[in-house]
């Protein structure tokens, strides 16, 4: 019921190392076109683009125009185009809205900048407030150590209680 | 200090939201001016667009001196299919009177637009507005949309939706009156 002896792990380790090496070197061994062909599929592109008339992602769109877009994308895939090329062609044909991404100019830029600004603001607030909170916590901890002195009556009652337990 | 900063951030976000809503809404300045009887210059007239058949570029400015029926369309748009024969008839009539229909495809793949042209035997020139920026300068957000321009390149009539013969007759009379 015990695990495999340490010696038998040697070949396994070697196999894992070889598999890792192969996965790292495979992209360089294959021609770029073959790799793009292997990776590009209609569902993969459908998830990333919009149906321009229905204004919903293409993978959930059901309309004649969505079918035309799918056929157009399939034609590009059949020609061996990679994902980036297909997206560029789609933008050239249907306009930038086909990607369903905010533009990188005008008001749409706010979609990228606002989250960054919010994160930075929170970081700055943390940097400013954290030392203050730690100082307050230290002060509270210190004041907690020095217990208030007992009155004479309380001290007498405590003593008698403790004696009862002895 | 913290409440002030939070309030400031809130005000900034609300301001951004208001600006965004106003910036994203479609401009109807052209419609308002035409309704007032003005003849505003056609926007973006010098923007060069690719011809649908490929192999060249053209712009609205190249048609200065002609009455132009500028029609935004796409092959997937059903009203565009309905009005295509009407536009082709208008083109035949305009040829004799120093005018032309100019189609501009928008949000449409080139092969689809080309087969639309063949299907409806359209003889007027068509350009491709791939990025949609030309259409945006006209406040176009639905299809079809038609703008009739006089010989000086000024907008005299606008139809945001399918046109009919009465619109064409009225708009052309207006455009040729100068």
What are the residues whose beta carbons fall under 8 Å from the beta carbon of A95, sequence distance 6 or more?
A: A52, B106, B107, B129, B130, B131, B132
Domains of chain B: 28-175 (3.40.30.10)
pLDDT in tens, chain B (178 residues): 667 777 887 887 788 777 776 666 667 889 999 999 999 999 999 999 999 998 899 999 999 999 999 999 999 999 999 999 999 999 999 998 889 999 999 889 999 999 999 999 999 999 999 888 999 999 998 899 999 999 999 999 999 999 999 999 999 999 988 6
Give the lowest-confidence range in A26-35, A67-76, A83-92, B101-110.
A26-35
Of B76, B106, B132, the CB nearest to A65: B76
Contact A121 B9 (CB under 8 A): yes
| Chain B residue at shortest CA distance from A122 | B6
Q: Which of B14, B109, B132 to mutate to test the interface with A (most CBs of A within 10 A)?
A: B109
A82 Cα to chain B: minimum distance (Å): 19
A18-32, A70-84, B86-100, B133-147: the lowest-pLDDT one? A18-32
Minimal C-alpha gap between A13 and chain B (Å): 53
Q: Which residue of B has its CA nearest to A126?
A: B2
Distance of alpha carbon B157 from alpha carbon A46, whole angstroms = 40
ipTM score above 0.90: no
Nearest to B17 by CA among A116, A111, A55, A104: A111
Decide if A107 and B132 are in contact by the 8 Å CB cutoff: no
For residue B64, give the nearest of B151, B174, B176 by alpha carbon: B151
The encoded tokens of residue A122 equal 């929170």
Contact B76, B155 (CB under 8 A): no
pTM: 0.68
Q: Measured between beta carbons, which residues in chain B are less than 8 angstroms from residue A112?
A: none
């Amino acid at each position: 019921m015990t695990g495999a002896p340490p010696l038998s792990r040697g070949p396994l380790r070697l196999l894992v190392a070889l598999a890792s090496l192969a996965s790292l070197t495979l992209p360089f061994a294959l021609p770029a076109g073959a790799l793009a062909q292997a990776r590009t599929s209609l569902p993969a592109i459908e998830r990333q683009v919009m149906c321009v008339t229905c204004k919903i992602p293409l993978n959930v769109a059901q309309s004649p125009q969505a079918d035309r877009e799918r056929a157009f994308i399939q034609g590009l895939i059949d020609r061996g185009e990679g994902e980036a090329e297909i997206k560029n062609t789609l933008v050239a044909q249907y306009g930038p809205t086909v990607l369903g991404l905010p533009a990188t100019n005008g008001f749409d830029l706010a979609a990228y900048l606002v989250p960054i600004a919010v994160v930075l603001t929170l970081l700055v607030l943390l940097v400013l407030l954290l030392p203050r909170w730690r100082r307050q916590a230290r002060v509270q901890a210190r004041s907690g150590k020095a217990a208030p002195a007992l009155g004479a009556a309380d001290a007498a009652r405590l003593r008698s209680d403790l004696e009862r337990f002895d | 200090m913290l409440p002030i900063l939070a309030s400031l951030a809130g005000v900034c976000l609300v301001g951004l939201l208001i600006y965004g809503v106003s910036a994203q809404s479609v401009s109807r300045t052209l419609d308002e001016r035409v309704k007032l009887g003005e003849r505003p210059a056609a926007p973006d007239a010098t923007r060069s667009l690719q011809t649908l058949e490929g192999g060249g570029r053209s712009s609205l400015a190249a048609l200065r001196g002609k009455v132009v029926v500028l029609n935004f369309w796409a092959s997937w748009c059903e009203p565009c299919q309905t009005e295509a024969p009407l536009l082709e008839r208008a083109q035949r009539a305009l040829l004799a009177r120093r005018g032309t229909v100019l189609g501009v495809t928008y949000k449409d793949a080139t092969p689809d637009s080309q087969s639309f042209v063949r299907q409806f035997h359209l003889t007027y020139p068509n350009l491709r507005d791939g990025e949609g920026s030309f259409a945006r300068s006209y406040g176009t957000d639905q299809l079809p949309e038609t703008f009739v321009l006089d010989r000086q390149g000024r907008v005299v009539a606008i139809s945001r939706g399918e046109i009919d013969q009465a619109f064409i007759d009225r708009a052309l009379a207006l455009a040729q009156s100068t």
